[in-house]
Amino acid sequence: MNQRPDPSAPNAAKRQGSLPRTVRAVAWSLIGLRKGSEYQQDVEKLNPIHIIAVGLVAVFLLVLGLIALVNWVV
């Protein structure tokens, strides 16, 4: 029941991914086009907290853009 974490597994907090790589990964994920090999590299290199933060900002900007587009059309 109580499993110890694998010491050889990389800790998510210690992963260092660049901001442009994180933004690119989130953008491709929002579009729905992602290669399996690139996804695997992102899992190994990017910090999940950074992905969540960039994803929330991207969704917020998408919603603001849609609201602006609707207001402009109407």
Contact 41, 18 (CB under 8 A): no
Q: Considering the entire predicted model, what is its pTM?
A: 0.67
Nearest to 44 by CA among 15, 18, 19: 15
**How far is the CA of 42 from the CAs of 17, 34, 45, in angstroms?**
8, 11, 5
pLDDT for the residue 11:
56
42-69 pLDDT, tens digit each: 778 888 899 899 999 999 999 999 999 9
Contact 15, 46 (CB under 8 A): yes
The CB density around residue 22, as the number of other CB atoms within 10 Å, is 19
